[in-house]
Amino acid sequence: MTTYSSVKKIKCAALLAACLLTAKMAWSFNEPPANLAVSTFLDGGSPPGLHYLSYLIFADGEQAINSQGEVIPGNARVTVLTQLNQFYYLSNVRFLKARLGLDLLLPLVSPTVKGSFGPVPLTANTAGLGDLVAGPALQWDPVPVLGGPLFNRVEFDFILPTGKYDSNFMVNPGSNYLTFTPYYSAVWFFRPKWETSLRFWYALHDENSRTSVKPGQVFHFNYAVSREVYPKFRLGAAGYFLQQLTEDEVRGVQSTDSKERAAAMGPGAVYMGKSLIMMLSFPFEFSVRNRFRGYRSSLNLIYTF
C-alpha cells in the first residue's frame, strides 16, 4: 500500500518544468522544438528550495512527412542530441494560495543532418547554445481527488531568441524569435502504487526577423502513467500529442497546408534514490504531418539541494 509518507517522497521526486530545445528548420517545418515527452512521470510538484535537473535527449527524425502523410523524397534525416540544464526555485511566498517559483533552462544542442528536403540538400549549423527559457510558476499544495492526492502547477514560460543561429543554415540550435508558452501540469495518485501525469501547453510565436516566417499557434500535451513494481522502481508508458491550430505566415501571408501534427507513445521507467531521481522514456511517433517522423529518448536526472 502507498502511504501518505511515501506519497510525500514521490512529491519531492516529481519532475519540474522542462522544454526540449532541439534544432530548428528555418524555411519549412517551422514549429520550434517543444517539450515532447521530456517531462513525463510524476510531473506535478516539488518541495520548496532549489532544484537542478539535467536532461540528455536524443531525437531522431528518420523521415520527412508532408501534409498528406507521405514521405518527402530526398531521404532527409535530422538527429539532435541535447543536454538540457534546468534550475528551478520554489519559494514559501504565497500568491493565489500557491507557492511562487522561478524556472530557468539552458540547452546545449548538437544537430546532424543528411539527405535533402525535396531537391534542396539539408544543411545544419554546428553545435552550440540553444534558446534560453525562463518564467514564473505557481505551485499548489496537493488536494484529494476521489481518495488520491492531486499535485498541480502552472507556469508562464518565455523562450528567448538567444541561441546560436545563422539563416544560411536550415537547421540551427536557436530559433531566432520569441515564444510565449504557458502550461498546466498535474500528477494524480489515483490508486495505490499508481500515478498518471499530464502537462498541457499553448504556444504563441513571434516572427523570425531573418526569414519573415511566423509559425502558427500550437497546442500540445504530454501524458504518462506508471506503477511501482518494486521499492524505488516504477514502470510505465509515456507519450505526447501536438497539433498546430493556425497556419504559418510568410511576410504576413498565410501558408496553405502548413499545420503540423504528431503523436507518440512508448515505454518508460523511474528509479527513486535518496537524493537522485532517474527517469527514462522512449516514445515512437505516428500520425505525423509536416514534421520529421521518428523517435525520442530522454534520460532525466533530478537533484534536490
Express each pLDDT in 170-217 by its tens digit. 999 999 999 999 999 999 999 999 999 999 999 999 999 999 999 999
Express each pLDDT in 120-153 by its tens digit. 899 999 999 999 999 999 999 999 999 899 999 9
CB atoms within 10 A of CB 181: 22
Q: How confident is the model at residue 119 (pLDDT cuts 50, 70, 90)?
A: confident
Rounded CA separation 52/16 (Å): 9
At residue 16, the pLDDT reads 30
Is 4-304 a CATH 2.40.160.40 domain? yes
* Per-domain residue ranges of the chain: 4-304
